Amino acid sequence: MTDDRSGSAGCDAADAKSTFDGEASRLSRRKALGTLVAGAGGVGGYAVYRNRSDDGQQDVELSMPREDEIDERIETNRTAELTVTVLDEGEDPVADATVDVSMVGHEFGFGTAVDAAYLVDETDDDDRYRTVIQDLFNKVVLENHHKWGFWDVPAERDRAEAATEWLLEQGLEMRGHTCLWQKRDQGAIPDDVVEAMDDGDGEYIETQAESHIRDIVGYYEDVPGFTEWDVLNEQIEEHEMTSVIDPDSPPTRTPVTAEWFQLAAEADPDAQLYINEYSILAGDETKHKDEFEALIEYLLEREAPLEGLGFQCHHWSPDQRRTPTQLLETIDRFADRVSSIQIHEYDTWGDEWSESMEAKYFYTFLKTVFSHPAVEGFLMWGFWDELHWHGNAPLFRSDWSKKPAYDVYTDLVFDEWWTDVQGRTGDDGIFRTTAVLGEYEISATVGNATTSTTLTLEEPTDRTATIRLQI
């Protein structure tokens, strides 16, 4: 993921950032979170948002974390103290050596859904599309072509394989979406299984689903870079298959769902397995969150190898926005059940959104979720209007002009959360800095002698790198 931000088409990231004291500085590392709800004000250094309570009848006031508190959380959870020691051949410290610490990639997953056909087929914009993917992201998911109905069609499967091969060759991390999604008319279910659903043939559905999980997950076993799978998608509302398989069990307590996770783990023991659900961080559907929690608890009771939760974040109205406090509290609610939480399918669309509103909330949302230690990735559901399912992706309009949220994204990911520093060692041969978690190239130079090493910072704990110079 490289930084290519030329030609911003008049987009000003500062417009997307409002501060509590009225000052907005594009260069400040303490930019304040944007106002989420009309009428929000500042009280005692905190933003106070007025929102409807769960019953939709009574307004409630919530004290928000200040942005400097969010930044402190980010520094605690997303950076490490790095110590570089420069020694000569005799193991003596080298003073006044020039040390360069250059970040080459994030540990956190910043990703997007991509269109397999657009990657594989020849189009007018295919080169631009591929370039942007390489420049802006380190993680990807195919929007459609790993869904069951696509995978079962030979021509579409060929596209999936070709697109996946190209993405992995670029060094991008890949996630699979989705083994099973029980929604009709979305390419998620092959025709023979739809017929079995119509016929009430649960035995056939179960047999075919088991075979498919073994096939698609096992196909990518031991493929470097293909790291995780959504085993089950939107089970709370889309459960027609499980209802036919086991009509006496509610969708949150159907034994076959745990068996599907076990099959996926057998097909690829190294893959991290997720369940993906909507209306968890977007919107305030209490009943939906309660049912999702019940489903997770049931799967874990059945010893399903469930390791991660994917929170879909489609915002079809500004009413779907949540405050930072609400976002963090919801993540806290689920974080102790699994080893990983990821933000999946982020976008904002609908007539009520303006690009300015979208950019402000993008800024608030991304900083807030990035500050939580349980969150390992953020994936938008497409980045370009031309290929977005509602024609309103976060970053680019159809003509490739950049939206305000583009500058928000790149300023955070490639500036505020990107470490590229230079300094000199002291008499003890040591140079210290704070570095965002990720992959680094580190070099030391004295006179004509230069040597380098690589280092990966994976956790926010002190790390050391020792460089030996021949002087």
**pLDDT category, 340, cuts 50, 70, 90?**
very high
pLDDT, position 37: 30
Residue 426 in any domain: the answer is no
Claim to verify: residue 53 and residue 114 sit in the same structural domain: no
pLDDT, position 9: 39
**pLDDT category, 63, cuts 50, 70, 90?**
low
Helices within 201-239 (DSSP H only): 202-219
Residue 81 in any domain: the answer is no
Helices within 44-147 (DSSP H only): 67-78, 116-120, 126-136
- The answer, yes or no, to whether residue 2 has pLDDT greater than 70, is no
**pLDDT category, 11, cuts 50, 70, 90?**
very low
- The answer, yes or no, to whether residue 19 has pLDDT greater than 90, is no
Q: Please list, in sequence order, all residues whose beta carbon lies within 8 angstroms of the beta carbon of residue 172, skipping any fewer than 6 positions away.
A: 111, 133, 134, 137, 138, 139, 140, 225
Tell me the C-alpha distance between 392 and 351, whole Å: 10
- The answer, yes or no, to whether residue 53 has pLDDT greater than 80, is no
272-277 and 308-315 strand pairing: parallel
Predicted model pTM: 0.88
Longest dimension (CA), the chain: 80
Claim to verify: residue 147 and residue 220 sit in the same structural domain: yes
Claim to verify: residue 182 and residue 117 sit in the same structural domain: yes
- The answer, yes or no, to whether residue 388 has pLDDT greater than 50, is yes
For 372-383, write each residue's pLDDT tens digit.
999 999 999 999
Q: Is the dihedral of CA 94, 95, 97, 102 positive or negative?
A: positive
Q: For residues 205 and 185, which has the higher predicted lDDT (pLDDT)?
A: 205
Claim to verify: residue 157 and residue 58 sit in the same structural domain: no
- The answer, yes or no, to whether residue 61 has pLDDT greater than 60, is no
Residue 90 in any domain: the answer is no
Angle at the Cα of 277 (from 228 to 345), degrees rounded to 5? 70
Residue 79 in any domain: the answer is no
Residue 95 in any domain: the answer is no
CATH number, residue 320: 3.20.20.80
Strands (E), 289-359: 308-315, 340-348
Among 23, 44, 68, the domain boundary falls at 68
Among 416, 445, 464, the domain boundary falls at 416
Percent of the chain with pLDDT over 90: 83
- Asked if 264 and 229 count as a contact pair (C-beta separation under 8 A), the reply is yes
Average pLDDT, the chain: 89
Claim to verify: residue 269 and residue 378 sit in the same structural domain: yes
Residue 2 in any domain: the answer is no
Claim to verify: residue 48 and residue 148 sit in the same structural domain: no
| Mean pLDDT along residues 127-153 | 97
Report which secondary-structure segment, H or E, holds 256.
helix 255-267
- Helices 355-370 and 404-411: crossing angle in degrees, nearest 10, is 20
For 266-294, write each residue's pLDDT tens digit.
999 999 999 999 999 999 899 999 999 99
Domain count, the chain: 2
Claim to verify: residue 130 and residue 52 sit in the same structural domain: no
**pLDDT category, 180, cuts 50, 70, 90?**
very high
**pLDDT category, 190, cuts 50, 70, 90?**
very high
Among 68, 92, 115, the domain boundary falls at 68
Claim to verify: residue 37 and residue 120 sit in the same structural domain: no
- The answer, yes or no, to whether residue 245 has pLDDT greater than 80, is yes
Helices within 121-201 (DSSP H only): 126-136, 148-151, 154-169, 191-199
**pLDDT category, 30, cuts 50, 70, 90?**
very low
Residue 268 in any domain: the answer is yes
Claim to verify: residue 20 and residue 165 sit in the same structural domain: no
Q: Which domain holds residue 57?
A: 13-68
pLDDT, position 380: 98
| Mean pLDDT along residues 215-238 | 97
Claim to verify: residue 243 and residue 179 sit in the same structural domain: yes
pLDDT, position 306: 98
Residue 363 in any domain: the answer is yes
| Mean pLDDT along residues 102-120 | 97
For 260, the token pair is 């599907």
| Mean pLDDT along residues 152-180 | 97
Claim to verify: residue 353 and residue 292 sit in the same structural domain: yes
Claim to verify: residue 209 and residue 301 sit in the same structural domain: yes
